[in-house]
Amino acid sequence: MSTITLTTWSLEMTSPADLVPAAPAGPEISVVRSEVPSPEFSRFLYASVGGDIHWTDRLSLTRAQWVEQLDRPGVETWVAYDRGTPAGYVELDPQDDGVVEIMYFGLLPDFRGRRIGGHLLTVGVERAWDLASRWPQRAATPPGWVDTGSPDGPPAVAYKHRRCDIHK
């Protein structure tokens, strides 16, 4: 059995003013909230984005467990589309203490390196900051979180580090 060494960084943003927005990805790219929780679609996104970078924590979930994860108040999935084709996603998960965590974020392999990820992360961070306007019962407050790990690849790690402060 082979082992993989994983380094994880927890990044935090304590003010919406700290966001350094990426350039828009172009008119063919749209980012849309998936308003109807769909375990099948979310599993597709998770497996497609994370397959080659060894995301495994959700692969064994049953459909009922996916529903439980996605149907909690305030959990949101925002999907980037390239001319109608899913290119990546960001999943927001508000915590009980008011922190909004970017639980999952990434692009399908064929869409990496096309300046979509920065735009998607910008939209995800903006939606994390205004989540409470859509879910008043969650009363989301700063800081916002995103974890990144060494399998994400150098461009993704560097990009996330430029846009968030490393949480100590």
d(CA 100, CA 96): 9
Name which of 10-19, 38-47, 155-164 the model is least confident about: 155-164
Residue 167 vs residue 34, higher pLDDT: 34
Q: For 1-28, what is each residue's pLDDT tens digit?
A: 677 676 777 778 888 899 999 999 999 9
Residue 100 vs residue 62, higher pLDDT: 62
The residue type at 94? P
* Domains along the chain with CATH numbers: 8-166 (3.40.630.30)
Indicate whether 101 pLDDT > 70: yes
The residue-averaged pLDDT of 52-78 equals 96
Residue 101 vs residue 7, higher pLDDT: 101
The answer to whether the peptide bond before residue 109 is cis (omega within 30 degrees of 0) is: no
